Chains A and B, each alone.
Chain A
Amino acid sequence: DSGVTQTPKHLITATGQRVTLRCSPRSGDLSVYWYQQSLDQGLQFLIQYYNGEERAKGNILERFSAQQFPDLHSELNLSSLELGDSALYFCASSPQEGHFSRASYNEQFFGPGTRLTVL
């Protein structure tokens, strides 16, 4: 158990709908990351929040958005869902903002994931 929690475990919805995925980081971690994993794309970085602020962005679609709340939990909102959005969505957390030096290497710990199925 990594200490990162994600809800729900499974989500089945229809095209055009909107869903919210939730993540609680490990105690003490300030950074939260969202990743998407599909069979053909592998594990792809979406976005990072650090202490409530957006810190880094990957190839996240405009239909997707995220935020980190004052208690440090994070939500990923996916709207106008398409069949191709079906994937595993993982949240990870780490103590710091980035990778600055060997002394402060910023390992990420992953949650169990949310499996999204769009029908």
Chain B
Amino acid sequence: EDQVTQSPEALRLQEGESSSLNCSYTVSGLRGLFWYRQDPGKGPEFLFTLYSAGEEKEKERLKATLTKKESFLHITAPKPEDSATYLCALPMIYNQGGKLIFGQGTELSVKP
């Protein structure tokens, strides 16, 4: 069964303190991965699509990378406005439409 696991569950950083969030998965075959950001009580906001191992995408202070078994979301010199829950999601294929399986998320808190 396909599974997505995110770690840590929660991460507290000081402003400017860089770190990484992890998303690991067990799938029958790599088919890419999505990253989303979610603020409390709001809908998930699309950040990145990663398709193949070795691929990297960047947006402001965020950089997402992908290997065959996991993805990392690196956050460089974070600011308080980066505080949110970060979700990774695995797209299903093989006649499952556009279904996504989400990890439980990493709740990031950045203190000034």
Q: In the complex, which residues of chain B have a beta carbon less than 8 angstroms from the beta carbon of A108?
A: 34, 46, 98, 100
Could you tell me if B41 and A98 are in contact, using CB atoms closer than 8 angstroms? no
Smallest beta-carbon distance B49→chain A, Å: 5
Closest B residue to A90 by beta carbon equals B43
Q: What secondary structure prevails in chain B residues at the interface with A?
A: loop
Q: Which residues of B contact A (CB under 8 A)?
A: 31-32, 34, 36, 41-46, 49, 51-52, 87, 91-93, 96-105
Could you tell me if A42 and B105 are in contact, using CB atoms closer than 8 angstroms? yes
Q: Which residues of A contact B (CB under 8 A)?
A: 2, 4, 31, 33, 42-45, 48, 50, 55-56, 58, 88, 90, 92, 94, 96-100, 102, 105-113, 115
Q: In the complex, which residues of chain A have a beta carbon less than 8 angstroms from the beta carbon of B91?
A: 99, 105-106
Q: In the complex, which residues of chain A have a beta carbon less than 8 angstroms from the beta carbon of B97?
A: 31, 48, 50, 55-56, 97-98
26 CB contacts below 8 A, A to B, read A2-B43, A31-B98, A33-B99, A43-B44, A44-B102, A45-B101, A55-B97, A55-B98, A56-B97, A56-B98, A90-B43, A90-B44, A98-B93, A98-B97, A99-B31, A99-B91, A99-B93, A99-B98, A105-B32, A106-B91, A108-B46, A108-B98, A108-B100, A110-B43, A111-B43, A113-B43
